[in-house]
Chain A
């Protein structure tokens, strides 16, 4: 496994977009946390995406993605697709306004020779508050401790997406002294 593989994964994602399988997409989760802050172990890059073809059925809506995977000989298991040795998890985002905004405002990052869009730190923190698992709070703690969050931007996102009260209830988990 070397870095070339992740560039190959990015090339596949770009191809999926150019073939109109997915529309906009951005990396989220722990993989994005690694790019913004410091490396943390995670199994899969999470790809938050919007489908080119809109569908109300979330299960059927991934058909185009699976079809693409099959056509290109990538094995898949539920939401994971094995792309060049990486288990890529595809998360369809159109039903969640916070996720849509996170994709729309994602920042471009160069990985080697390839450009990839990565969800920004403040939207990631809001998404982790929304998800509310222990591992999500750990990642917020890492960002907070590193002092890399733009607090004005973060609290604006939290307020607009009705997450401010959850932040205030849960902040003792990830901010020392709260």
Chain B
């Protein structure tokens, strides 16, 4: 019974935190949202890279293209 109460409280706490986090993100200006999107791209690529380096699935080709585009100079084909 005590465990169930703790679990319920933990879920309620996480739900509230998620709500606050989403309210914050939704209230950002368009420019701030794009800055966050850029952060998410970087974090997601790093996650894919670490997974590959540890013997997991390779980085998907579309993310390799994204990385090349962002970090290599634009040259005409």
- Which of A's residues lie within 8 Å of B, judged by CB? 1-3, 6, 31, 34-35, 37-44, 69-70, 73-77, 80, 82-87, 109-112, 146
Interface majority SS (helix, strand, loop, mixed), chain B: helix
Task: List residues of chain A with CB within 8 A of the CB of B37.
Answer: 31, 34, 39-42
A1 with B33, Cβ < 8 A, contacts A77-B65, A82-B69 known: no
Ranked 10 nearest A-B pairs via Cβ: A39-B36, A38-B25, A41-B40, A82-B69, A39-B37, A43-B66, A85-B70, A87-B69, A41-B44, A111-B30
- What does the 1/0 interface line of B24-55 toward A look like (CB < 8 Å)? 01101011011111111101100000000000
Of the listed residues B22, B25, B37, the one surrounded by the most CB atoms of chain A closer than 10 A to its CB is B37
Task: List residues of chain B with CB within 8 A of the CB of A111.
Answer: 30-31, 34
**How far is the CB of B9 from the nearest CB of chain A, in Å?**
22
Are A75 and B22 interface neighbours, CB within 8 A? Answer: no
Q: How large is the interface on B (under 10, 10 to 19, 20 to 34, 35 or more residues)?
A: 20 to 34
**How far is the CB of B65 from the nearest CB of chain A, in Å?**
6
- Which of B's residues lie within 8 Å of A, judged by CB? 22, 25-26, 28, 30-31, 33-41, 43-44, 62-63, 65-66, 69-71, 74-77
**How distant is the Cα of A33 from the Cα of B37 in the complex, in angstroms?**
11
Task: List residues of chain A with CB within 8 A of the CB of B63.
Answer: 43
A73 with B75, Cβ < 8 A, contacts A43-B66, A86-B69, A111-B30 known: yes
A73 with B76, Cβ < 8 A, contacts A1-B70, A38-B25, A146-B26 known: yes
**How far is the CB of A80 from the nearest CB of chain B, in Å?**
7
**How distant is the Cα of A74 from the Cα of B75 in the complex, in angstroms?**
6
Picked from A1, A39, A84, A112, the residue with its CB within 8 Å of the CB of B40 is A39
Are B38 and A1 interface neighbours, CB within 8 A? Answer: yes
Are A87 and B66 interface neighbours, CB within 8 A? Answer: yes
